[in-house]
Chains A and B, each alone.
Chain A
C-alpha cells in the first residue's frame, strides 16, 4: 500500500457497506462526472465508446442541431423531391410565366419563388436541384476520404520508399489545377452525368486528404501510446486502426467536411461554366448560369438557387466543425 495518501488515492478492497457515493465524495475528482454517473446506476454500467460519447456531446450543441436539421432536410429533398412540391421542374410555360415575380401567397406552390427565363417554377427547380448537389458532395467526399485516407495512412505509417513514391504522386496531382483538370477529364465524357462529375472530382481531390492524413499519422505514430501498443505485441492492423486512426482522423474529418461544401460549390461552378452537368439534369449551378443573363430584370431567378447552394455548403461546414469538437475528448 502507498505510504503517502493524497485525496485521489483509493483504498483497495473497500469495506462492505461503503457506497459508491462515498467514493465519489472522497475522490474529489471529476465530481460533476461522478455525480452525474452515480445518479443513474444502470447507465453507469454501460460501456462508453468514443462515438457514443461524441453523440451525447453533439446532441447538446445548437450549431450541430441546426446544421443537422438542414442537412437532413436537404437529404430528404434529394431523395423525395416530389414530397416538397407538386410542380414539375421541367414544365416550361413561356406564355404565362416568363420571369414572373415570386408570389409569396403561393406558399409551397409552383409560383412561390417565381419563374425563370424558360417559364419554369424556380421553387421546383431548387427542390429538385438538391439531388445533384448532395449526390456529388457526399459521393466525392466518401471517395476521396477512403482513397486519400488509406493512401496517406500507408505513406505515413510505413515511411521510407513507399512514402517517397506516394508523396511524389501527391505532388504531381497537386500541380494540376482542380478546374483545369476537371475540364480536361470531363471533356472525355460524351454525356456528362452526376457520376462523371463524381469521378473527375474524386480523381483530382484525394491528394488533399492523403496529405493531411499522412501528416497526422506521422505525428501520432511517434506517440508513446503507439510505442506501448507495439511493446504489447500489437500488429500493424491494430496499431493503424485502433491507435493511430482514431487520433489522426480529426483533421481529416475537418478537411473532408469543408471540402464537401467545396465539392458542391465546384460542381455548381463546373455546371455554370457549361462543362459540368448538362440539361436536362437539374442543378443549382446550371440555374445560376442561366439566371445571370437576366440578373437585372429578375434577380430572384439567381437568388434562390444561389441561396440554396450557400445554405447547403454552410450547413456541411458547420456540421464538420461540431463533429470535430465532439470527437476530441480533450475539449470536453
Chain B
C-alpha cells in the first residue's frame, strides 16, 4: 500500500536513512517514557526566581503502535494538548524520553529534528486559526515541500498539492483560493492535507473535530479512518468527546491532571473501566435513549480539578474520588495492570482500589460510600496538615 500511497501523493520519496526501517504492524512506533513537562512559575522582574511549576504533564508513559489509533481523553486542562506539543517537539520536555522507531527524539535539533518532523505530523484543533489567512491553499499545502524539497521536485509540487486536495476530498481546482473561502470542515481537510504532504507515519490529531459541527465531524472522522488504511498511518487522537474516541480508537488512554490514569483497548476502557475517574467520565456520556437515561446511574463528581501547580499528594484524583482512603494520599498509584483483577478488567489502571463498577450499586449506597470517602479525605487532609506541622517542627 505504501507504493500506492506514494503514487497517489505524486511524490517519490528518497527514504530517510535514519528512519528507514519499517516497523511491523502492532509494534511500538512511538515510545513515551515518564514524559514530564513543567512550566516554571517565576517571580520578580529582573532576577527571575522560580517559585513553582505548573505540572502540565507529569510522568506519562505509553506506546503508540504502528497502524493503530490511540485515543487520549480527559477534561480541559489535563495536559492532553501539552502532551501533543511535547511529542511534536514544539515545547521542550522537562524530563523523560520520547522514542521514534527506537531513537530518542525529545532532545533533537537542527537537521535531525527536521528529519523527525517529516515522519511525525500534526492536525490542529481549530481550522480557523491553523491556516495562514494570507496564503492560498496551494501555498499552505505546498509549504511542506518547500521546507523539505527532497520530498517532491519543484516541477511536481503543484501536481502533488492537487493530488492531496483530491485525497482529502476537495476539488483540486480550489488550489488558488484562500482559507476564508472554505467552510470549517473543508478547512480541516486542508489542515489534514498539509499534515499528509510529507507522508508521515505518525499523525498527532489535537482535537481535530471539536471545532466542527456534528455532521461535519463524522465526515472528517471517516476521512481520517480512510486515510489511515490507505497510508498505514498511526494516529494519536486527542479529544474530549468520548463517543468519537471510541469510534476511531483501537486503544484509549485517560488523562487526569497531567497523569495517565488508565489505558487499554477501547473495549477494556469503555466496558470494563477500573479507574474511578474513567467510570465517572463514562457515566457522563449522553445516552440517546430516554428510557435508558432515566434508569442509568450517573456519577457526579464534586469539586473542581485541583490546580496543576499544586496537585494533591499521592493519587491526584483522590480529592474527588469516592473510594479515596489514607493510602491514596500517601502513595502514588502506578499505572499497571491490577493483579487482583482478571479478564478484560486486568489492564493498566493507576488506582489502588481498581475495580469494575458494580452496575447494581444503588445511588443511595454510593451516597453513603461517597460521604464516607469525603470524611476520609477530610481526615487525611487533617493528618497531612498535622504531618506538615510535625516536619516543620523538625
Chain A residues within 8 Å of B, Cβ to Cβ: 1-6, 8-13, 20, 23, 27, 29-30, 33, 44, 46-48, 50, 223-225, 227-235, 238, 242-243, 246-247, 329-330
Contact = CB atoms under 8 A, between A and B. Distances in A.
Contacts of B147: 232-235, 238
B355 to A, nearest CB: 38
Contacts of B134: 50, 246-247, 329
Contacts of B182: 29
B349 interface: no
A229 B134 CA distance: 14
Nearest to A222: B129
Given A230-B90, A247-B133, A1 B216 contact: no
B177 interface: yes
Contacts of B173: 20, 23, 44
Contacts of A225: 129-133
A4 B218 contact: yes
12 contacts: A23-B171, A27-B171, A30-B181, A50-B134, A223-B129, A228-B130, A229-B132, A229-B143, A231-B122, A232-B117, A234-B143, A242-B135
A10 B223 CA distance: 12
A12 B171 CA distance: 7
Given A2-B222, A48-B136, A233 B166 contact: no
B170 interface: yes
B222 A8 contact: no
B133 A233 contact: no
Interface string B127-149: 00111111110100001101110
Q: What are the nearest 9 A-B pairs in CB distance?
A: A224-B130, A233-B117, A2-B219, A246-B134, A225-B132, A233-B114, A224-B129, A2-B222, A48-B176
Nearest to B144: A232
Q: Which of B88, B171, B177 has the most CB of A within 10 A?
A: B171
B92 to A, nearest CB: 13
Nearest to A249: B134
Given A228-B194, A243-B132, A30 B124 contact: no
A51 to B, nearest CB: 10
B143 A8 contact: no
Contact of A6 (B118, B122, B215, B222): B215
Nearest to B222: A2
B166 A12 contact: yes
Nearest to A53: B178
A233 B254 CA distance: 30
Contacts of B176: 44, 46-48
B143 A329 contact: no
B306 to A, nearest CB: 27
A47 to B, nearest CB: 6
A330 B181 CA distance: 9
Contacts of A329: 133-134, 178, 180
B356 interface: no
A235 B217 CA distance: 33
B200 to A, nearest CB: 10
A246 B169 CA distance: 29
Given A2-B222, A23-B173, A228 B124 contact: yes
Contacts, number: 120
B379 interface: no
A71 to B, nearest CB: 25
Interface string B179-217: 011110110000100100010000000000000000110
A47 B88 CA distance: 32
Contacts of A2: 169, 218-219, 222-223, 226
Contacts of A9: 169, 185, 219
A228 to B, nearest CB: 5
A224 B177 CA distance: 20
A5 B122 CA distance: 25
Contacts of B138: 47
Contacts of B255: none
Nearest to B218: A4
B94 to A, nearest CB: 19
Given A3-B219, A4-B222, 7 more contacts: A13-B166, A33-B181, A227-B90, A228-B191, A231-B122, A232-B147, A242-B143
Contacts of B198: 232
A197 B9 CA distance: 58
Contacts of A224: 124-126, 129-130
B316 to A, nearest CB: 28
Contacts of B169: 1-2, 9-12
Nearest to B45: A164
B148 A233 contact: yes
B143 A4 contact: no
A330 B132 contact: no
Contacts of B133: 225, 247, 329-330
Contact of B171 (A10, A227, A330): A10
Nearest to B197: A232
A234 B133 CA distance: 17
B87 to A, nearest CB: 10
Nearest to B215: A4
Contact of B186 (A8, A227, A242): A8
Nearest to A45: B176
Nearest to A29: B183
A12, A44, A47, A223: residue with the most chain B Cβ atoms closer than 10 Å: A12
B194 to A, nearest CB: 7
Contacts of A47: 136, 138, 176
Contacts of A227: 90, 124, 130
A236 to B, nearest CB: 12
B304 to A, nearest CB: 26
Contacts of B171: 10, 23, 27
A238 B144 CA distance: 12
B82 to A, nearest CB: 13
Nearest to B171: A10
A48 B138 CA distance: 10
B163 to A, nearest CB: 10
Given A223-B129, A247-B134, A3 B222 contact: yes
A28 to B, nearest CB: 10
